[in-house]
Structure 1
Amino acid sequence: MARPDQSNRTRSSRRAGGRPPDRTVVYTDGACSGNPGPGGWAWVIPGGRYRSGSETHSTNQRMELAAALDAVRSIDGAVEVVSDSAYVVNCFRQGWWKGWLARGWINTKKQPVANRDLWEPLVDLYRSRPISFRWVKGHGGNKWNDLADRLAVQASLTQQGVEGEGTPPPGHVPVPDRDGWRS
């Protein structure tokens, strides 16, 4: 069942009494070694679960989208997706998906929507339950966005995903240094 448009619900709102709404906040990110090239995606719930995965031949935008879709599929109930991807956030903030549906999954340039295989199930989920999107600056010092980024980069480089609860052990997440990434 379609719900009223919530494309402007990109920031956390508060209920009466100042209590935040019941929802799970998840940070998502995607990475690609080359664009296109080997890709990785990841999501992290602060203090909770995390997961990453990969594709052998992908793009950065596709991996950003894959992270959001996997997170929403994996989390029950209301979700706030926090992403550094304008591609993902603006689709819902600006309502791109409405035009795609009206035009039969054709974009404004009269071309098929790229990554439709990921967009379509994400839009369906968005229309079926409370999901909001919030943008965060990438590489801006946000602990959880940085962790999702490191997990996505690791997945793109190793082509192996990880999954767990809590903060991933340091050996599982590469740490940036001046010469690139190190474990």
Structure 2
Amino acid sequence: MEEPQPLVFIYADESCLGNQYKDRARPGGAAGLLEFWHPRKGWVRRDYWTSEPDTTNNRMAIRSATIPLAALKQPSRVVFTSDSRYLVDGMTQWVHGWSARGWKRKDGEIENLELWKALMPVAGRHEVQWRWVKGHAGHPQNEYANYLATRSASRQDQSGGLVDSKFDDWIREEQEKERYLSFFALPPDKFEFKPSRRPPTR
């Protein structure tokens, strides 16, 4: 019997500062937390983030997925959680129709087409369960991803790939402020993985 592929959890978010403006640059960030369970070490976590000097939330949402999926060294089962409907609906619904129509929409050009096409082969290496979570609703990993994305948008910096995570320090500080007190880092023993439909290959 084949060993199951590694089970990886990714929590991603994006930020665009000054979305309300059209006459000035809108710096943005994309970031996230990647974690997996190691039988001896427990949860192993990595952070990532990137930025653009003038961008949109939608662009950064796509980049928040491309970076960690490309960084995984082997095909994996990935539970990808984001509060971006644009990203989750895009990957579970829209890309299949766009591909069938020759990468065109019924009513015009596809926004961020080059980024969607870059994400397809990267996501296609893995089995991905795309999950949407409501933003700013008390989900600790999502809130942490938001913190990283907002910080990268403000600083205009990049992690340069996956780096050691500061999530443990962050959640400890938050719980000292009596936030996220129900969060416990339990192993994913009973997690039921349900992969979404694989993205098109062309």
**Same fold per superposition (TM over 0.5):** yes
What letter matches 2:90 in structure 1?
C
Could you say which residue in structure 2 is the equivalent of 1:85?
Answer: 84
1:124 corresponds, among 121, 126, 130, to: 121
Could you say which residue in structure 1 is the equivalent of 2:99?
Answer: 101
Residues 71 and 106 from structure 1, CA distance in 2 versus in 1: closer, same or farther, beyond 3 angstroms? same
Q: Which structure's CA Rg is the greater one? A: 2
Separation (CA, whole Å) in 2 of partners of 1:129 and 1:155: 27
What letter matches 1:100 in structure 2?
W
What letter matches 2:98 in structure 1?
W
Per the TM alignment, residue 21 of structure 1 is displaced from its structure 2 partner at its CA by 7.6
Secondary structure of 2:111 counterpart: coil
Q: Cα RMSD over matched residues?
A: 2.0
1:117-175 Cα deviation digits (max 9, x unpaired):
211122223334312210111111111101110110011111012352132566xxxxx
Per the TM alignment, residue 99 of structure 1 is displaced from its structure 2 partner at its CA by 1.2
Could you say which residue in structure 2 is the equivalent of 1:179?
Answer: none
Could you say which residue in structure 1 is the equivalent of 2:189?
Answer: none
1:73 corresponds, among 54, 70, 74, to: 70
- 8 Å contact from structure 1 (residues 38, 58) kept in 2: yes
The answer to whether structure 1 residue 33 and structure 2 residue 17 are counterparts is yes
TM-score by length of 2: 0.67
Could you say which residue in structure 1 is the equivalent of 2:7?
Answer: 23
Matches within 5 A, 1:1-183: 22-35=6-19, 37-46=26-35, 47-75=44-72, 76=74, 77-93=76-92, 95-109=93-107, 111-162=108-159, 164-167=163-166
1:24-74 Cα deviation digits (max 9, x unpaired):
010011100122611100010244111101011100111111101111111
Gapped runs of 5+ residues in structure 2? 36-43, 171-202
Per the TM alignment, residue 105 of structure 1 is displaced from its structure 2 partner at its CA by 1.6
Consecutive aligned runs of 4 or more in structure 1 exceeding 4 Å deviation: none
- 8 Å contact from structure 2 (residues 30, 61) kept in 1: yes
Secondary structure of 1:79 counterpart: strand
What letter matches 1:50 in structure 2?
D
Gapped runs of 5+ residues in structure 1? 1-19, 171-183
- 8 Å contact from structure 2 (residues 34, 68) kept in 1: no
1:91-116 Cα deviation digits (max 9, x unpaired):
233x211111122221231x221111
What's the % identity of the aligned pairs? 32
